[in-house]
C-alpha cells in the first residue's frame, strides 16, 4: 500500500515512482540499511529503515527522487514523504524493544544527526483534566529536547540532508527557537549556520545561536522583517554559489517529516490507543502537518485504529490559520501581528494552507486565545501540576479550555496538549503576567 499526502484525504495514493536502484534515494536507503552511512549514528533502529519511496509535491503531484530535496522542482510546492506501508513497517512489539527518539525510522526519509532529541515525556495531568472536565489530559513536553524545542526533531533531519547533499551551511530566518536548534545541529553535523532573527527574539535564543558558533544577523523588527532580510540575502547570493541548505519550515520536507515521531511516541506511550484530540500550537504549521501525516500513516499501516482530531491553537493577535479554519478559506497574511508569544508570531506561515488542510481533514478546528489567557494557562499548569510550559504551550492549554466550552472537546475525551518550547525559555514573560496580577 502506498500513501501520499495531497491537498485533502481524497488525493489518490501515489504509484509509479519509477525509481530504480540507481537513484540517489535508493542509494541512501541502501547505505542506511547496510549501516555504512557517513556522519550518521546508525544504531539498531536505522538498520530496519525501508518504507521511504521518495517525495511528492503536495501541490502538483510531481515526484522528487533526490534524497536532499527541498521544494518541488516543477512548481515550487511543498514536498512530503511517500512510504510503502507494506514494506517493512515494524510490529508494536518491535517498536517497543527500541529506545531513544527515533523508534520508527522506517517512516522517515533519512537518518538523523543525533543529539539526544525525542523520547520526550507524555505527562498525565489529572488535576487539569478534572478542571477541564475531560476523561484524561496528557501534555507532550517537547521542552525536553536538546535545545528545548520541538524544532530539534526536524533540524536533526535537515542537518543530515544538508550533509548528504554536500552543503556546508544551514540557512534560515527564525523567530528564535528554531534558529537556536539549527545552530546546534549544524555544529553537531560539522556545518555552519546562518540565522537571521528579529530583534524581538528572546535573549536566550540569540545568545545560544552565538554560543553554538552560528553566524547570526539581528534585524530590527519582527519575524517578517527577518524573513525578508534573509530572502534578500539569498537573492544576492544564490544558494548554489555557497552551498547553503534551506533550513526553514516547509523549505524542505524535513522539518515537517521530523515532527512525525512526536505522534509515534504519543500513541506508543498510550499503549497504542489513539487519543480523541490533540491540541497543538501553530506558528509555521509544521506540527499539525507532521502530526496528521504520522496519524494517517500509523492508521494505514495497521499499528493503531483511527486518527485523532487535531486542533490548531494560535494567539488571537496572530491567528491566520485559525481565521482560515473559521472562515472556510485559505490563510491570508496578518497585516499587524501583535502577540507576546514570539514563537507563534508568524503572520504569513509557510505551511499555513497545509496546516488548515491537515486540521480540517482530521475533523478538528481552530481556536484563538488572548495572550493573557495563554500566560495564565501556562502558570496554572505549572502551579497545579508542576509542569513548565512555554507561552506557546500556554496557547494550547488555553485553547483546550475554549474548545471544551465550545463543546469541541467532551467529557469522555482523552486529550493531548503539545508544549513545543521549554517553559524556562519564557520565564520572564509568564512571571511578568503574575506580577501584573499582583501575585
Ligand atoms: Zn509541484
Express each pLDDT in 381-427 by its tens digit.
Answer: 999 999 999 999 999 999 999 999 999 999 999 999 999 999 999 88
Per-residue confidence band for 237, with pLDDT thresholds at 50, 70 and 90? confident
CA of 33 to the centre of ligand 1 (A): 29
- How remote is the CA of residue 64 from the centroid of ligand 1, in Å? 9
What's the 157 CA to ligand 1 centre distance in angstroms?
22
Cα of 330 vs centre of ligand 1, distance in Å, is 18
Torsion angles phi and psi, residue 412, rounded to 5? -90, 0
Selection from 278, 273, 336, 352 nearest residue 306 by Cα:
273
* Residue 316 CA: distances (Å) to CA of 8, 13, 161, 278: 26, 37, 35, 19
Distance 158 CA to ligand 1 centre (A): 20
Distance of CA 279 from the midpoint of ligand 1 (Å): 30
- Confidence band of 239 (pLDDT split at 50, 70, 90): low
* pLDDT at 49 (0 to 100): 56
b/e sequence 57-85, b meaning 16+ C-beta within 10 Å: bbbebebbbbbbbbbbeeeebbbbbbbbb
User: How does pLDDT run across 122-147, given as a tens digit for each residue?
Assistant: 999 999 999 999 999 999 999 999 99
Cα(328) to centroid(ligand 1), Å: 24
**What is the rounded CA–CA span in Å between residue 369 and residue 400?**
10
The CA 363 to ligand 1 mean position distance, Å, reads 26
Average pLDDT over residues 303-317: 98
Q: Provide mean pLDDT across the span 90-108.
A: 96
- The mean-pLDDT minimum among 232-246, 273-287, 414-428 falls in 232-246
DSSP labels, 250-312: TTSTHHHHTTHHHHHHHHHHTTTPPPSEEEEE-SSSHHHHHHHHHHHHHHHTTSSS---EEEE
Comparing C-alpha atoms, which of 176, 123, 170 is closest to residue 392? 176
Query: Ligand 1 centre and the CA of 300: distance in Å?
Result: 25
Residue 105 CA, ligand 1 centroid: distance in Å: 26
Q: What is the pLDDT of residues 150-192, one digit of tens each?
A: 999 999 999 999 999 999 999 999 999 999 999 999 999 999 9
The alpha carbon of 78 and the centre of ligand 1 are apart by a number of angstroms equal to 7
How many A from CA of 56 to the centre of ligand 1?
Answer: 8
Instruction: Give distance in angstroms: CA of 194 to centre of ligand 1.
Output: 27
Report residue 436's pLDDT band, with 50, 70 and 90 as the boundaries.
Answer: confident
Q: Is the pLDDT of residue 271 over 70?
A: yes
Task: HSE, CB side, 13 Å, CA atoms: give it for residue 240.
Answer: 0
Asked if 167 and 194 touch (Cβ cutoff 8 Å), the reply is no
Q: Rounded distance, CA 315 to CA 368, Å?
A: 5
Q: How confident is the model at residue 69 (pLDDT cuts 50, 70, 90)?
A: confident
When mean pLDDT is compared across 109-123, 236-250, 417-431, the lowest value belongs to 236-250
Cα 250 to averaged position of ligand 1 atoms, centre (Å): 13
Q: Where would I find the beta strands (DSSP E) of 60-191?
A: 63-64, 79-84, 122-124, 136-141, 169-173
Residue 405 to residue 413: CA distance in whole angstroms: 14
What is the average per-residue pLDDT within 204-209?
97
- Quote the ligand 1 centre to 227 CA distance (angstroms): 23
Nearest to 154 by CA among 19, 311, 283: 283
Residue 15: pLDDT above 70?
no
The reply to whether the predicted model has a pTM over 0.75 is yes
Residue 359's pLDDT band (cuts 50, 70, 90): very high
Between CA 336 and CA 348 the distance in angstroms is 11
Q: Cβ atoms within 10 A of the Cβ of 331, count?
A: 23
C-alpha to C-alpha distance for 409 and 263, rounded to whole angstroms: 19
User: In which band, very low, low, confident or very high, does the pLDDT at 19 lie, cut at 50, 70 and 90?
Assistant: very low
CA–centroid distance, residue 63 to ligand 1 (Å): 8
79 forms bridges with which residues in the sheet? 57
Ligand 1 geometric centre to CA of 61 (Å):
6
| CA 306 to centroid of ligand 1, rounded, Å | 29
> Which of the four pLDDT bands, split at 50, 70 and 90, describes residue 240?
low
Residue 373: its pLDDT value, please? 97
Radius of gyration of the chain (CA): 20
**Element containing residue 398 per DSSP (H, E):** helix 391-405
Most confident of 61-75, 239-253, 311-325: 311-325
What's the pLDDT at 236? 83
pLDDT of residue 288: 98
In this predicted structure, the answer to whether residue 37 has a pLDDT above a threshold of 70 is no
Q: What is the overall mean pLDDT for the chain? A: 89
Helices 177-189, 151-165: inter-axial angle, 10-degree rounding: 40
If one counts every other C-beta atom within 10 angstroms of the C-beta of residue 12, the result is 9
Q: Cβ distance 72 to 62 under 8 Å? A: yes
DSSP string computed for 209-255: HHHTT-EEEEESS-HHHHHHHHHHHHHHS-HHHHTEEE-STTTSTHH
- Whole-angstrom CA distances from 234 to 217, 230, 276, 406 are 14, 6, 43, 45
pLDDT of residue 241: 57
351 CA distance to ligand 1 middle (Å):
15
CB 418 within 8 A of CB 150: yes
Place of cell 492549554: 397
55 CA from centroid of ligand 1 (Å): 10
* Residue 23 banded pLDDT, cuts 50, 70, 90: very low
- pLDDT the model gives residue 31: 41
Query: How far does residue 69's CA lie from ligand 1's centre (Å)?
Result: 12
Distance CA 146, CA 250 (A): 22
The CA 432 to ligand 1 mean position distance, Å, reads: 46
pLDDT of residue 376: 96
CB count in 10 Å sphere of residue 7? 13
How far from the centroid of its chain's Cα atoms is residue 166's Cα?
24
Q: How far is the CA of 400 from the centre of ligand 1 (A)?
A: 35
- Residues shown for the chain: 439
Ligand 1 geometric centre to CA of 11 (Å): 14
Amino acid at each position: 500500500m502506498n500513501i501520499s499526502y495531497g491537498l485533502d484525504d481524497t488525493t489518490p495514493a501515489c504509484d509509479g515512482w519509477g525509481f530504480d536502484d540507481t537513484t540517489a534515494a535508493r542509494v541512501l536507503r541502501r547505505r542506511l540499511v547496510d549501516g555504512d552511512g557517513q556522519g550518521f549514528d546508525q544504531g539498531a533502529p536505522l538498520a530496519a529503515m525501508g518504507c521511504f519511496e521518495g517525495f511528492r509535491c503536495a501541490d502538483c503531484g510531481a515526484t522528487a527522487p533526490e534524497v536532499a530535496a527541498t521544494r518541488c522542482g516543477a512548481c515550487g510546492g511543498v514536498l512530503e514523504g511517500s512510504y510503502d506501508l507494506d514494506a517493512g513497517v515494524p510490529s508494536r512489539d518491535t517498536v517497543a524493544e527500541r529506545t531513544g527518539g527515533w523508534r520508527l525510522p522506517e517512516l522517515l526519509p533519512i537518518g538523523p544527526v543525533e543529539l539526544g532529541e525525542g523520547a520526550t515525556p507524555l505527562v498525565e495531568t489529572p488535576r487539569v483534566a478534572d478542571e477541564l472536565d475531560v476523561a484524561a489530559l496528557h501534555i507532550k513536553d517537547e521542552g525536553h529536547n536538546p535545545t528545548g524545542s520541538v524544532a530539534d526533531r526536524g533540524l536533526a533531519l535537515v542537518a543530515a540532508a544538508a550533509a548528504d547533499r554536500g552543503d556546508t551551511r544551514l540557512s534560515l530566518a527564525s523567530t528564535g527557537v528554531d534558529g537556536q536548534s539549527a545552530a546546534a545541529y549544524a555544529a553537531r553535523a560539522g556545518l555552519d549556520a546562518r540565522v537571521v532573527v528579529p530583534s524581538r527574539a528572546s535573549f536566550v535564543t540569540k545568545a545560544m545561536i552565538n554560543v553554538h558558533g552560528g553566524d547570526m544577523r539581528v534585524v530590527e523588527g519582527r519575524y517578517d522583517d527577518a524573513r525578508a532580510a534573509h530572502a534578500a540575502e539569498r537573492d544576492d547570493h544564490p544558494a548554489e554559489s555557497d552551498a547553503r541548505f534551506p533550513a526553514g519550515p516547509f523549505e524542505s520536507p524535513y522539518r515537517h517529516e521530523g515532527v512525525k515521531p512526536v505522534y509515534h511516541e504519543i500513541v506508543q506511550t498510550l499503549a497504542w490507543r489513539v487519543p480523541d484530540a490533540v491540541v497543538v500550537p501553530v506558528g509555521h504549521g509544521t506540527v499539525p502537518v507532521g502530526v496528521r501525516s504520522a496519524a494517517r500513516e500509523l492508521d494505514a499501516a495497521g499499528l493503531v485504529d483511527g486518527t485523532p482530531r487535531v486542533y490548531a491553537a494560535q494567539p488571537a493577535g496572530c491567528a491566520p490559520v485559525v481565521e482560515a479554519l473559521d472562515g472556510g478559506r485559505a490563510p491570508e497574511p496578518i497585516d499587524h501581528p501583535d502577540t507576546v508569544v514570539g514563537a507563534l508570531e508568524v503572520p504569513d506561515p509557510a505551511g499555513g494552507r497545509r496546516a488548515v488542510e491537515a486540521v480540517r481533514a482530521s475533523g478538528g478546528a481552530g481556536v484563538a486565545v488572548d495572550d493573557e489567557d495563554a500566560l495564565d494557562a501556562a502558570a496554572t499548569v505549572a502551579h497545579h501540576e508542576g509542569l513548565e510550559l512555554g507561552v506557546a504551550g500556554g496557547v494550547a492549554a488555553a485553547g483546550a479550555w475554549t474548545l471544551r466550552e465550545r463543546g469541541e472537546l467532551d467529557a469522555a475525551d482523552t486529550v493531548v496538549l503539545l508544549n513545543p518550547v521549554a517553559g524556562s525559555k519564557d520565564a520572564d514573560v509568564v512571571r511578568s503576567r503574575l506580577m501584573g496580577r499582583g501575585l
